[in-house]
Structure 1
């Protein structure tokens, strides 16, 4: 995973940690089940909420933020329910997918209004600091109506950060951002997570999640299909063979030797090396050096072909 930790425009102070818990949460609208029996715990760090459009991500985020009541189950922040509990907003910030900005205001005025709504002791200083965090200093005096979508997104993130919340929920936060803005926002989320904040962001774009967080919550058709580090999730999928590309000093001899290894389900010899299908990730990666050494073969490259988040996601959706 590419490192994105660049120095942000403003420092991120350490935070008191908070935990968001969902216990058997469901939400339905008449006969339509949007979220079905989801249980998860979110602590400090950055987590990606992944799923195709219509998987229930936005409904789940709205219940976490206290905008929707669960039809069944409970959502709590540090043990307190988020529904009908305005006090949680001292510790929680939300950037919804739907834009809700007053285009006649400047970014500074918009973020300052958020600071005043939170009754911060020095709203002007808090607004300036939040704008610095998202690198909107140069445009903060312009009307929001003149901004690009990416600039409006950054302004909304600043408004959600103005009271320095311990928990930040973001629904498709990278929509409309250009590559530089995306890199900066990814770096900012990393810094916030490293400082002890609990960050959850939703996306249906696999590359975004893979670059920002290795920890994922995968929603499929309203259910939580998988949870944790996506590489670990892949290795637990024992019903799907792991695919490796192997290059060595003698691919043909290595192919013959590997066929006798119990963890290997198939070997294909091609122009660029071997394609190996293994039933057990750990057993194969431990056996390969031993087999190569025994036959006097040097392994030049061992590359997992389906360890990406894209592969994990496609397997979960197909299941």
Structure 2
């Protein structure tokens, strides 16, 4: 299979005064890439432009050097699984996938549809109407539709939504095989663990901006090495504050209304320092709570860094 490369060059997309994607540049090549970010980060808009369904307001999106927008030929190469429901409820699963095979002009549309349904383990329900499917089954039949023409590029927007654990594991195995075969697979998720299990390369989006890029270890290190905020309750907050501020692993210590707030510069050093300082000073720790561990706060730090 000839390697396929999607290139995003200084791309923005806005709707009136709302900027959904802001000056994004990235390259997506063979293998599995995870598009990670909180809800509302611009992931779906970016995937829409990669698939040629949305025009960039500025910048260009290309597939192997050819512009994607207003280029129907790219659909011979691209398969898309959108997040929104994109199936006709009155069709059976078989009819829905077969219709897509016929739209692609495949020489044996029936055989192609059967292979695609088998790949996602939906043969058992192929004669039932899509409107009767569960959320997970609808996701799988959308996947079959995207695979029916054997695309070199697969774009998936939150593909694991609604799937049970077994379905999720099966889809992950299928995507791993596609990546190993040299296909270009991009999937979006707001769940860090999904991306960790599957993606070789990670692109992080926050508030429409491209916040970080790298393999999982690099992204995890960026997240871990950032300043961390904690609230601590102990038997002697004032004594603990004095001991912590003297160490270089804390950038700030504040004691207000019997609440000790600490900003730790070095996460690893702080996790080693705190219990040792408390023990040496004879101070009992009652509570150590992070206050900024949401994905939104982590991603926001990446944007600012």
Deviates more, 1:186-195 or 1:201-210: 201-210
Instruction: Give, in whole Å, the separation in 1 of the partners of 2:192 and 2:299.
Output: 13
1:33 and 2:58 equivalent? no
Question: Given that residues 31 and 200 in structure 2 are in contact (C-alpha distance below 8 angstroms), is that contact kept between their aligned partners in structure 1?
Answer: no
Q: Hey, what does 1:124 align to over in structure 2?
A: 110
1:224 and 2:207 equivalent? no
Question: Given that residues 34 and 188 in structure 2 are in contact (C-alpha distance below 8 angstroms), is that contact kept between their aligned partners in structure 1?
Answer: yes
Instruction: Give, in whole Å, the separation in 2 of the partners of 1:187 and 1:199.
Output: 13
What is the correspondence of 1:1-319 to structure 2 with a 5 Å cutoff? 15-235=1-221, 240=226, 265=249, 314-318=297-301, 319=304
SS of the residue aligned with 2:7? Answer: strand
Instruction: Give, in whole Å, the separation in 2 of the partners of 1:150 and 1:238.
Output: 33
Question: Given that residues 230 and 312 in structure 1 are in contact (C-alpha distance below 8 angstroms), is that contact kept between their aligned partners in structure 2?
Answer: no
Change (3 A) 1:73 1:172: same
If the length of structure 1 is used for normalisation, what is the TM-score? 0.72
Structure 1 residue 279 displacement after superposition = 5.4
Structure 1 residue 167 displacement after superposition = 0.6
- Point out where structure 1 has 5 or more consecutive residues left out of the alignment: 1-14, 243-263, 267-276, 285-309
Structure 1 residue 238 displacement after superposition = 9.5
Structure 1 residue 44 displacement after superposition = 0.7
Q: Hey, what does 1:302 align to over in structure 2?
A: none
Question: Given that residues 233 and 312 in structure 1 are in contact (C-alpha distance below 8 angstroms), is that contact kept between their aligned partners in structure 2?
Answer: no
Instruction: Give, in whole Å, the separation in 2 of the partners of 1:280 and 1:196.
Output: 38
Structure 1 residue 104 displacement after superposition = 1.9
Structure 1 residue 16 displacement after superposition = 2.5
Instruction: Give, in whole Å, the separation in 1 of the partners of 2:265 and 2:41.
Output: 31
Deviations 1:241-278 (A, max 9, x none): 79xxxxxxxxxxxxxxxxxxxxx948xxxxxxxxxx89
Instruction: Give, in whole Å, the separation in 2 of the partners of 1:239 and 1:185.
Output: 32
Deviates more, 1:143-152 or 1:87-96: 143-152
SS of the residue aligned with 1:41? Answer: strand
Change (3 A) 1:188 1:237: closer
Structure 1 residue 212 displacement after superposition = 1.7
SS of the residue aligned with 2:193? Answer: helix
Question: Given that residues 52 and 204 in structure 1 are in contact (C-alpha distance below 8 angstroms), is that contact kept between their aligned partners in structure 2?
Answer: yes
Change (3 A) 1:314 1:191: farther
- Point out where structure 2 has 5 or more consecutive residues left out of the alignment: 229-247, 251-263, 270-292
If the length of structure 2 is used for normalisation, what is the TM-score? 0.75
Deviations 1:14-73 (A, max 9, x none): x33200000000111122111011000000111111111111111101111111111111
Question: Given that residues 202 and 219 in structure 2 are in contact (C-alpha distance below 8 angstroms), is that contact kept between their aligned partners in structure 1?
Answer: no
Instruction: Give, in whole Å, the separation in 1 of the partners of 2:267 and 2:201.
Output: 22
Question: Given that residues 234 and 312 in structure 1 are in contact (C-alpha distance below 8 angstroms), is that contact kept between their aligned partners in structure 2?
Answer: no
